[in-house]
Structure 1
Amino acid sequence: MTRAARRLGARGAALAALGVSLGAARAGAQPSAAIRLNQLGFPTTGAKAAVVADSAATRFAVLDARGDTVLAGALSPPERWAPSEEVVRRAEFGALRRPGRYVLAVPDVGVSTPFVVSDTPYHELARGAVKAFYFFRASTPIEARWAGPWARPAGHPDDRVLVHPSAASDARPAGTTIAAPGGWYDAGDYNKYVVNSAISTYTLLLAVEQFPAHAARLDTDVPESGDALPDALDEALWNLRWMRRMQDPADGGVYHKLTTAEFDRFEMPDADRAPRYVVQKSTAAALDFAAVAAHASLVVRAWPRELPGLADSLTREALAAWRWARQHPDSVYDQRRLNERHAPAINTGAYGDTQLADERRWAAAELYLATRADSFLVAAEPHAAPAADVPSWGSVRTLGLYSLVDHRATLPAGFDTTALVRRLASLADSLVARARQSPYGVPMTTRDFVWGSNAVAANQAMALVQAWRATGDTAALGTARAVLDYLLGRNATGYSFVTGFGARTPMHPHHRPSEADTVVAPVPGMLVGGPNPGQQDRCAGYPTRVPARSYVDATCAYAANEIAINWNAPLAYLAVALDALASRR
């Protein structure tokens, strides 16, 4: 008997003991949708798990690229997950530490998509998630040298943007033109929004600040690659420059958004010639700008030669926006009322927010760190604020907590920093407890399946990483890794929700350039919104309204399949953080 025959015989015996047919496990066999796991892979050390649905099996095996069984184990008892209304079992294979390419095999089900075990399983994802922001850039050509087949001409120069009547002032009457080029297209459309830009820019800045050595090495192959700044910082600064242009230098107020009157057609950016407007100065925009500009001033001080004077300029602009917000505490963006008073009517994304205490706390926390003026620390109310929650564009108070905890060593003598850490740890403890009740190992509950549910998950993971950094809680870090597994395929849909990363990924995101270009594959590195039982788009093809399975890969499904900068930013942070930690081993 040849060595190959003996190997095949050993493989067959092992699989027969599990009841798995050789045909089902053969290399190249169609993967089973019932086996859900991270379709990219796992670090050599740490937990590794898959979820198996629709199976009565009790055992599993892991096979290497030759088809040899390298590990076998017992599936967990069946458990029901309420958000997906499924009964599933878990396969735990953390003992698998040898680098290589594998599949997981289950009797009566078949084999999983292939996955790798390596010391750098998240590296390409980190590059791709950060580089996605290059593809979001406005007012500049996206060149083939860096974009490959997704190259496109420059769109929306935004050098002659009209002041909408809602934004008119003595210095800038309605119809005046201003220049506000640059920035990122916000989502599947071509408009730019300050409120959503703020949390997105802050999140990228935090990745650079908290993982500086790794960020410095992360080459995303963009025009700025090779300069003295980390590519992720170059990207954040690209958007921050646009945000600074949205501030009126006459009074410090900040326009809420730069937009067309209606959403654009599905065409390439350079084909869209509709008039664009800056619309209403809002309290939320001013406070969010003050917060992110103040935080950026801290980050850029590490590069005084490359960015001379920028930190001081950002601090001055943040203070001006803060003063404007104090003078206009109730300038809430209400698009319906705006359209009753002014023409043309504006019917693009509103990002309206009537509760502004969280923006004030965030801005005050960041301005304290930038200026060391005690009055800002009092205004931030770090000990009196409501309990920490998972951040979103409309709830940002916990971002100020992140920054204060990160810089707690510099807070005034006698300040109760332990209480700050405890607030963050309490949030993490609640997320870990919820994950332990889930067979998918994630904190997501039924109420989290909303528009942008994947961003909810990614921001939960980001909060867990903050808690781990502050406390060393390995359970928090492990749960953050489990969330990345969820986003990359260990979920009830069986999709990896990041375009271009995984065996089964979205091909039809609600993203105008991806739909309007001639490339079959969408722009890579984008996180789609994810399951949403609201189905507000009324797109055909949703398989169900069951929360965790209410997803369809269709361009019309903007409630589940749109992309957005505030969804990609926490994905980029999480991928950079976990890539940095894996590469330290």
Structure 2
Amino acid sequence: MKPFNLTATALCSALILAGCGSSGGGSSDTPIISSSSSSSSVTSSESSSSVSSSESSSESSSSVAAARIKVNQLGFAPEAAKMAVVPAGGSGGFAIIDTATDSEVMSGDLGAYNTWAPAGQSVALADFSQLQTPGTYVVRVQGALDSDPFTIGETPYRALNAAALKAYYYNRASTELLPEHAGTWARAAGHPDTNVLVHASAASAERPEGTVLSAPKGWYDAGDFGKYIVNSGISTYTLLAALEHYGSFYAAQDIGIPESGNAVPDLLDEAMWNLEWMLDMQDPADGGVYHKLTTKNFAGAVMPAEGTAQRYVVQKGTAATLNFAAVMATASRVVAEYETVYSGLADEMLAAAESAWQWAQNNSNVPYNQPSDVSTGAYGDGSFSDEFAWAAAELYITTGDDQYYQAMNPTSVPISNPGWSNTAALAWMSLAHHRNQLTELADTSLIESSILSLADNIRAQATASAYGVAMTNGDFYWGSNGGALNKAMMLMQAYRLSDDMSYANAAQGLLDYALGRNPTDYSYVTGFGERPPMHIHHRQSEADGIVDPVPGFLAGGPNTDAPSDCGGNYPAGSEAKARAYLDDWCSYSTNEVTINWNAPLVYVTGALEALYAD
């Protein structure tokens, strides 16, 4: 996700923010570590009002306040791996307590205490994977606060998966959200985008500056109202991949959007809202794709209908055009399964993908350069080999044309955790899923070994971690929670290739991290867990006057790279990285939400639901 180019002064002028000042944050000697501002209704674990009587007694027995046992605050499928993290100060073994009867149902020995470098904390693991009886439980250790309650049940993530997908509906542009679909979060339509101007940076002979275009629909990218092709690309692809990989799971899903109940899975209905916008972002004269559709500056903390400034399409570029080509090639083969509903659309999408590919061949090094009069998210990227590989792979899979596999040059394509600026792993992910339908030219051994080598490295990080999660010091960048779940998604590709449950267990650990098994004691998804974010950087959630934020959004998470927002002053050094999170609207560097972080949340929760339902 891109840093917002809002100054601290601009943030403070929109509303009174805790910690805001001319420098954009508190003083450097007043660190902010995973606790809310004075205006927040979410408290840190040390001051939570939800301490049970057993926790109170254990806390009073020590002169130092006990720390909470960390656990996935939603729960687990019966057959899933189940771990809790016990902070230093706990002694003896652990017990699992049935909350209905306050009785012990399992006990075990703790692992050895070790320090997890990203948090600078000494912790031990409690492994209770053998407990499979449905119920609601807590983990108890003498000298520590009980864990938050969690459930063991057959469908632990079904509601979470539906909410994470429906978050895209809540971020739809160009439409009213009606109470029968949006409930409490109903709102007026914003940004019709039927009167969009061509910015000077995007002008051409056929479409000079000031030309009026129509490009409605699409999703608001994040906490702002912009629509960006490169971030939209990885987000839409990830959703389409979830449908390709777990079609039967999504075919049965009803998330309560206007299209629910038609002959198409809700996931594809939702993806189509964005795909239709993406098609309008291609210049039919030459196949190039505009980088973004935004106002020139960010709006304040207002509802979409109040954001009425003029909107523009801004500059064509190589990254945007190749992202478009990859996504349209993917969408073409998915939509082809529903030809009776989308007559001719699969062919239209493939033609658009091939036209974009040709533009990129002729314009192979056109980086996005932010115009001087535009300050919305840049999503700048100066390296395009990953986008070329991804687009080539998707076109190869869809068309069966060997020229695209040759253009990918697979032996030269590295694999690493995917993100909006590094999409090469998506090429390998798609090739692996379709490996049995590829032409003879494809090296299936290379495809499989590429996925497995990445997953092996991620799994090794989990094995070496005192927290049991595949997160290292280098993973706490902007949107670290999205990065964690992208790792989980890639682990699931290895599981799908090998049936080795150790990959799925490592993926489970990363989801556990996002849902509470982390040093902040937050579940990072709005509306889920005992301690979810309440003050996400999301304009609708801030401006609507409703206490609860829009549900189903994954907050960005710990990040020590904050430039100037109110979350920017954390303790120096690697020991603070995993605790550098602030649940406050003004901490856009740690508490913004985006469509690209939600996408792997949808993928991973659906994958684990499908795994344990089989």
SS state of the match for residue 123, structure 2?
strand
The match for 1:572 is 602
Partner residue of 1:370 out of 389, 393, 398: 398
- Give the SS at the match of 1:58: strand
1:115 matched to 2:150? The reply is yes
Q: Distance in 2 between matches of 1:131 and 1:315?
A: 27
Residue 355 of structure 1 deviates from its aligned partner by: 0.3
Number of residue pairs matched by the alignment: 555
8 A contact 1:383–1:420 mirrored in 2: no
Among candidates 307, 310, 313, match of residue 278 of structure 1 = 313
Counterpart amino acid of residue 290 in structure 1: A
Give the deviation of 1:382 after TM superposition. Answer: 1.7
**Change in 2 beyond 3 A, CA 1:315/1:235:** same
Alignment pair present for 1:347 and 2:347: no
Aligned residue among 137, 149, 159 for 2:184: 149
| Residue of 365, 368, 393 corresponding to 2:420 | 393
Cα gap change, 1:56 to 1:360, in 2 (>3 Å): same
Indicate yes or no: 2:74 matched with 1:44. no
Give 1:234-383 correspondences, 5 Å limit. Answer: 234-335=269-370, 338-339=371-372, 345-383=373-411
- Determine helix, strand or coil for the equivalent of 1:409: helix
1:184 to 195, 201, 219: 219
Taking the aligned partners of 1:133 and 1:91, their CA distance within structure 2 comes to: 36
Residues 32, 112 of structure 1: 8 Å contact kept: no
Which residue does 1:3 correspond to in 2?
none
CA distance in 1, matches of 2:340, 2:361: 34
Deviations 1:62-107 (A, max 9, x none): 1111101111111111111011010001111112111011111111
Paired residue for 2:486?
459
Letter in 2 for 1:42: F
2:70 and 2:89 map into 1 onto residues whose CA distance is: 12
Q: Is the 8 A contact 1:254 1:286 kept in 2?
A: yes
Instruction: Identify the range of structure 1 (414-423 vs 546-555) with the bigger mean alpha-carbon deviation.
Output: 414-423
The residue number in structure 2 matching 1:529 is 556
Deviations 1:498-549 (A, max 9, x none): 0000000100000000000011000000001000012224305966451000
- Looking at structure 2, the residues matched to 470 and 162 of structure 1 have their Cα atoms a distance apart, in angstroms, of 47
Are residues 1:125 and 2:145 paired?
Answer: no
Deviations 1:207-231 (A, max 9, x none): 1110000011121111111111111
Question: Could you tell me whether the CA contact under 8 Å between 2:111 and 2:125 is conserved in 1?
Answer: yes
Aligned residue for 2:138, secondary structure, equals: strand
Residue type at the aligned position of 1:380: M
Counterparts of 1:257 and 1:35 in 2: how far apart (Å)?
44
**Matching residue of 2:472:** 445
1:53–1:88: 8 Å Cα contact kept in structure 2? yes
Measured against aligned partners, the alpha-carbon deviations of 1:485-506 in whole angstroms (never above 9, x if no partner) come to: 0000001111100000000010
Question: C-alpha deviations, 1:203-257, integer Å up to 9, x for none?
Answer: 0000111000001112111111111111111111110110000001111110000
Backbone CA RMSD of aligned residues = 1.8
Deviations 1:38-80 (A, max 9, x none): 0000111132110011324121111111101111111111111
AA aligned to 1:67 is D
2:558/2:577 contact within 8 Å kept: yes
Q: 1:571 to 1:178 in 2, by over 3 A?
A: same
Gap runs ≥5 in structure 2: 1-50
Amino acid corresponding to residue 419 of structure 2 in structure 1: S
What is residue 201 of structure 1 aligned with on the other side? 236
Query: Matched residues in 1 for 2:52 and 2:203: separation?
Result: 72
What stretches of structure 1 move > 4 A for 4+ residues in a row? 29-33, 540-543
Tell me by how many angstroms 1:110 deviates: 2.9
Q: CA deviation at 1:125?
A: 0.6
CA contact (8 A) 1:42 1:116 kept: yes
| Corresponding residue SS for 2:136 | strand
1:278 partner SS: strand
**Contact 2:90 / 2:141 at 8 angstroms: preserved in 1?**
no
Q: Structure 2 CA distance, aligned partners of 1:457 and 1:22?
A: 31
User: Residues 471 and 484 of structure 2 are in contact (CA less than 8 Å); yes or no, is this contact kept in structure 1?
Assistant: yes
Q: Which amino acid aligns with 1:498?
A: V
Task: Decide whether the 8 Å contact of 2:222 with 2:595 is kept in 1.
Answer: yes
Q: Secondary structure of 1:190's match?
A: coil
1:561 to 582, 588, 591: 591
TM-superposed deviation, 1:33: 5.0
Q: How does 1:157-168 map to 2 (within 5 A)?
A: 157-168=192-203
Give the Cα separation in 1 of the matches to 2:583 and 2:66.
19
Identity %: 49
The letter of the residue matching 1:536 is P
SS at match of 2:455: helix
Aligned to 1:10: none
Q: Contact (CA 8 Å) 1:461, 1:481: kept in 2 or not?
A: yes
Quote the residue 2:451 is aligned against: 424
Q: Which gives a bigger RCO, structure 1 or 2 (Cα 8 Å, sep 6+)?
A: 2
Residues 155 and 269 in structure 1, CA contact (< 8 A), matched pair in contact too:
yes
* Residue number among 195, 198, 204 corresponding to 1:169 in the alignment: 204
Contact 2:400 2:439 in 1 (8 A): no
> Which secondary structure does the structure 2 equivalent of 1:413 belong to?
coil
Of 499, 504, 516, the residue aligned with 2:526 is 499
Structure 2 CA distance for partners of 1:541 and 1:521, relative to 1, 3 Å: farther
* Paired letter, 2:120: E
Query: In structure 2, how many angstroms separate the alpha carbons of the residues matched to 1:358 and 1:414?
Result: 21
Letter in 1 for 2:388: R
Give the Cα–Cα distance (whole angstroms) in 2 for the partners of residues 212 and 542 of structure 1: 45
TM-score (norm 2): 0.88
What is the alpha-carbon distance in structure 1 between the residues aligned to residue 241 and residue 56 of structure 2?
45
Contact 2:298 2:376 in 1 (8 A): yes
For 2:555 and 2:52, the matched residues in 1 are separated by 36
Q: Secondary structure at the match of 2:609?
A: helix
Question: Matched residue of 2:337: which SS?
Answer: coil
The match for 1:519 among 524, 532, 546 is 546
Deviations 1:159-211 (A, max 9, x none): 00010011111111101110000000001000000010000000000011100
Give SS of 1:39's match.
coil
Rate the CA distance shift 1:296–1:542 in 2: closer, same or farther, 3 A: same
